Every structure is written in C-alpha cells, then in structure tokens.
Amino acid sequence: MFEAVEAALNQRAKEKGIEKRNDKYQNRYSFSGKIICSECGSTFKRRIHSSGTRKYVAWCCSKHLKQITECSMQFIRDEDIKTAFVTMINKLIFGRKLILQPLLDALRGMSNSDNLSRIQELEKQIEKNAEQRELLVKLMAKGYLEPALFNRENNELKMEADNYMGQKEALIHALNGELSKVQEVSNLIKFTNKAEMINTFKEQIFNDHIEKIIVYSRVEIGFVLKCGITLRERM
C-alpha cells in the first residue's frame, strides 16, 4: 500500500509539473496583448526595467516607447497589476450578491423582451414584402403592368426587404451579444460562489474572466470582464 501511495503521489506530481510547463509554454505572459492604453489605444509591451541592482517587469505603451511625444502614458509595474487584480477579485467574491446578481437579472430582462418582439415584427414585414413581390411578378406575367412601372415597384420592394433584413441581422447580433454576456455573468457567479479569497495572482482566473485591462494612469487601471463590466482599481 505504501508503494502504491507513493507511486500515485509521484504520478500526480509529474502531471502537475507537466501542466505547469505547458501553461508557461503556451501562454507565457497572461497580460500580453491585453493591456490597452486609454490615451492612445495601443497595447502595452513587456519590458525588464532595473532600478539600481534590482530588476523588475514593467508594461509600457508601445506608442509611448516608439514616439514619446505621441503618447504620454508612463509604464506600470507587473507586480502592481497583479496586486490590483487580487484586490479586484476579492472584492468581487465579497460583493457578488450586490454586483453580479443584479447585473444578471438586468441582462436577462433585456435579452428576452424588446429585441425578440422587434425581430418577430420584422419577420412578418419580410414575409408580407415577399408576398407583394410575388403578386407583382404575377401581374407582370399576365400583362397587367407596364415594364417601367413593374421595375419601379419591384426595386422599391427589394430595397424595403434589404432594409428589413439588415435591421433583423443587427438585432440578432445584439441579442447574441447579450446572451453571451448572460453566459459570462453566470460563469462568474458560479466561480465567485465557490471561490475563496485569493492572496496571489492566479493566471487561470485571469484568463477565464478578464477580457482586457485599460490603463487610465500610473495609479489607476480598469479590468474589463468578459461579461461586459469594467472594474476600476487604484494602484
């Protein structure tokens, strides 16, 4: 039994080791491409800075690095971003009932009512439009319409149909966006319900729930969550 337990522990350690290495290999820096400058919209680049003999990781606006006169945003420290993230996540876990549940309710209400009925209305209009065009073709075939009149009427109906289709697509697009947000908020609620507060940066949590980071200044950043809300943190 002793040997079996030891073998199991070794196996587990091995798997963990492999997992860790894979993680690092596939996504070396979780912040790459995800930090956005609020002043110029560029992404931040990772750099190694040194003060005296001490080296540290910093993130800098790529436009600022290229041409300092075009963006005045200064660098921020990797460590500070991680600390701000830990604070933000802990606030979210602590205040989930105040922040996330009302958001979920609001999103659910929105996606179910107005957009859906407007889409149904448009579908009726599209159907009616198709019937009118069919009738027009029949009348033309039977010789009741002048070709010029037919063309004019037909073009008008076509334009109307394109207009309805465009509106319908836009609404479906918006509705899907809302539904995916509902899904993201539900994920976040599930996570915060069972999560314990953290005291170090957790890459997995960051990747699961954060879309991007916006840098407002050297002392304030905002985490844009996948569910659509932005939570600001001082650094």
Contacts with Zn ion by CB under 5 A: the residue count is: 8
| Structure tokens, 187 | 């994920």
Q: Does 73 sit near Zn ion (CB under 5 A)?
A: yes
Least distance CB 235 / Zn ion (angstroms): 17
Show Cβ contacts of residue 223 under 8 Å, excluding neighbours closer than 6 positions.
Answer: 84, 85, 88, 210, 213, 230, 231, 232, 233
Least distance CB 226 / Zn ion (angstroms): 24
Closest among 218, 201, 220 to 210, alpha carbons compared: 201
| Structure tokens, 222 | 């905002």
Q: Which is nearer to Zn ion, 192 or 222 (CB)?
A: 222
Least distance CB 31 / Zn ion (angstroms): 15
Query: CA-based angle 91:61:201, to the nearest 5?
Result: 30
Q: Which is nearer to Zn ion, 70 or 123 (CB)?
A: 70
Q: Does 71 sit near Zn ion (CB under 5 A)?
A: yes
Query: Cα 100 from chain centroid?
Result: 16
Q: Does 221 sit near Zn ion (CB under 5 A)?
A: no
Least distance CB 64 / Zn ion (angstroms): 5
Q: Does 161 sit near Zn ion (CB under 5 A)?
A: no
Closest among 223, 230, 213, 226 to 187, alpha carbons compared: 226
Q: Which is nearer to Zn ion, 71 or 86 (CB)?
A: 71
Least distance CB 102 / Zn ion (angstroms): 34
- Cα(3)–Cα(16) distance, integer angstroms: 20
Binding to Zn ion, residues 26-65 (CB under 5 A): 37, 39-40, 42, 61, 63
Q: Which is nearer to Zn ion, 40 or 161 (CB)?
A: 40
Q: Does 214 sit near Zn ion (CB under 5 A)?
A: no
- Cα(95)–Cα(180) distance, integer angstroms: 22
Q: Which is nearer to Zn ion, 38 or 90 (CB)?
A: 38
| Structure tokens, 78 | 């990797």
Q: What are phi and psi of 40, to 5 degrees?
A: -125, -10
Least distance CB 135 / Zn ion (angstroms): 59
Q: Which is nearer to Zn ion, 58 or 73 (CB)?
A: 73
- Contacts with Zn ion by CB under 5 A lie at 37, 39-40, 42, 61, 63, 71, 73
